[in-house]
């Protein structure tokens, strides 16, 4: 299954992009009549059963991804640059016309197979698109969080900071949310470690996600960095050449370092 990183690896400066969102994708996959009995549930003494692939079922993403693999292979054979995350298809072209042609072909193939294209899809090629909760810009080669995603993360962090005594489950959800933002947050991985360490240590003591724990000062400092700096940043996809290369050895009784091929000497 592709992720946002797959799209970022495909992006080239000045390319045009589009995003096709399949509407009610899981519900377009019927369940064989012999197996619908395994997908029953009861509400107010009324028994129901799913006739299509259920939303929220653990294996639905894996099943749907396997079903769409032949479609994606066909698009690949046609020379279409793509990335598919469940029901969100990213398409890239060298220019507007190239991308438009690929979008039209992919859309026609999907429709012919019974899929519905969501009106929320970004079908018009652009050098800036919203995809999977991120904003991709090929003109400046940057990736940022979408407004909705940023607002969601801010709300979560503020809620946690206002109630330092939180459950391990809330901490784990916070760590997971921040981790999902890494593709757009420069240095994000450096400012979630104290939260992750606190989660791991809390579960080592007693494996109970409902247990209340107190946030450490370091963990709170990490959260404040996300609010004040991290969520406001743009991440560049272009890496400059380093101005200096420093190498050092690891030793408990001596030291030494090399900077730009200049040896500092050893003691």
Residues 143-156 pLDDT 10s? 999 999 999 999 99
Judgement on whether residues 99 and 66 belong to the same structural domain of the protein: yes
Q: What CATH number should be reported for the domain holding residue 96?
A: 3.30.70.270
The domain boundary residue, chosen from 92, 124, 140: 140
Does the residue 70 lie in any domain?
A: yes
Could you give the CA distance from residue 263 to residue 258 in angstroms, rounded to a whole number?
4
Within 10 angstroms of residue 164's Cβ, the number of other Cβ atoms is 13
In this prediction, residue 254 carries a pLDDT of 67
Judgement on whether residues 133 and 205 belong to the same structural domain of the protein: no
Does the residue 252 lie in any domain?
A: no
Could you give the CA distance from residue 135 to residue 184 in angstroms, rounded to a whole number?
9
Does the residue 27 lie in any domain?
A: yes
In this predicted structure, the answer to whether residue 19 has a pLDDT above a threshold of 70 is: yes
In this predicted structure, the answer to whether residue 187 has a pLDDT above a threshold of 60 is: yes
Extract the tokens encoding 267.
């003691």
The domain boundary residue, chosen from 140, 156, 182: 140
Could you give the CA distance from residue 28 to residue 52 in angstroms, rounded to a whole number?
7
Extract the tokens encoding 95.
């220019």
Extract the tokens encoding 35.
């197996």
Judgement on whether residues 48 and 134 belong to the same structural domain of the protein: yes
Does the residue 262 lie in any domain?
A: no
Phi and psi torsions of 127, nearest 5°: -90, 0
State pTM to two decimals.
Answer: 0.83
Judgement on whether residues 125 and 191 belong to the same structural domain of the protein: no
Does the residue 243 lie in any domain?
A: no
Q: Considering its fold, how many domains does the chain have in total?
A: 2
Cα angle, residue 6 at apex, residues 230 and 121 outer, rounded to 5°: 85
Judgement on whether residues 120 and 161 belong to the same structural domain of the protein: no
Extract the tokens encoding 122.
């970004």
**CB-based contact 136:111 (threshold 8 Å):** no
159 vs 247, higher pLDDT: 159
Residues 31-83 pLDDT 10s? 999 999 999 999 999 999 999 999 989 999 999 999 999 999 999 999 999 99
Judgement on whether residues 25 and 134 belong to the same structural domain of the protein: yes
Judgement on whether residues 132 and 150 belong to the same structural domain of the protein: no
Judgement on whether residues 101 and 192 belong to the same structural domain of the protein: no
Domain range enclosing 177: 146-236
Judgement on whether residues 209 and 100 belong to the same structural domain of the protein: no
Burial of 121 (0-12, 13-18, 19+ CB in 10 A): middle
Task: Give residue for tokens 């003109």.
Answer: 139
In this predicted structure, the answer to whether residue 261 has a pLDDT above a threshold of 80 is: no
Does the residue 81 lie in any domain?
A: yes
Does the residue 241 lie in any domain?
A: no
Judgement on whether residues 92 and 220 belong to the same structural domain of the protein: no
In this prediction, residue 18 carries a pLDDT of 97
Does the residue 245 lie in any domain?
A: no
**CB-based contact 244:260 (threshold 8 Å):** yes
Judgement on whether residues 132 and 205 belong to the same structural domain of the protein: no
The domain boundary residue, chosen from 140, 164, 183: 140
In this prediction, residue 198 carries a pLDDT of 95
Q: How far is CA 15 from CA 11, 49, 234, in A?
A: 7, 46, 19
Confidence of residue 243 (pLDDT cuts 50, 70, 90): confident
């Amino acid at each position: 299954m592709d992720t946002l990183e797959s799209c970022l690896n495909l992006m080239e400066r000045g390319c045009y992009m589009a995003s096709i969102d399949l509407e009610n994708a899981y519900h377009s996959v019927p369940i064989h009549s012999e197996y619908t009995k395994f997908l029953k549930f009861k509400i107010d003494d009324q028994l129901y059963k799913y006739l299509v692939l259920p939303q929220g079922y653990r294996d639905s993403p894996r099943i749907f991804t396997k079903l769409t693999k032949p479609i994606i292979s066909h698009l690949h054979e046609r020379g279409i640059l793509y990335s598919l995350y469940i029901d969100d298809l990213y398409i890239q072209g060298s220019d507007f016309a190239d991308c438009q042609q690929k979008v039209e072909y992919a859309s026609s193939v999907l429709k012919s197979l019974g899929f519905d294209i969501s009106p929320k899809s970004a079908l018009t090629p652009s050098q800036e698109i919203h995809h999977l909760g991120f904003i991709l810009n090929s003109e400046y080669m940057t990736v940022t969080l979408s407004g909705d995603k940023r607002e969601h993360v801010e709300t979560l962090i503020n809620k946690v900071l206002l109630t330092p005594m939180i459950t391990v489950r809330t901490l784990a959800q916070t760590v997971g949310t921040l981790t999902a933002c890494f593709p757009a947050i420069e240095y994000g991985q450096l400012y979630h470690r104290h939260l992750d360490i606190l989660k791991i240590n809390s579960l080592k003591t007693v494996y109970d996600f409902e247990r209340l724990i107190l946030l450490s000062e370091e963990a709170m400092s990490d959260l404040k960095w996300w609010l004040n700096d991290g969520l406001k940043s743009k991440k560049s996809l272009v890496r400059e050449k380093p101005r200096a290369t420093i190498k050092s050895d690891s030793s408990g009784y001596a030291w030494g370092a090399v900077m730009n091929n200049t040896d500092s000497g050893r003691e």
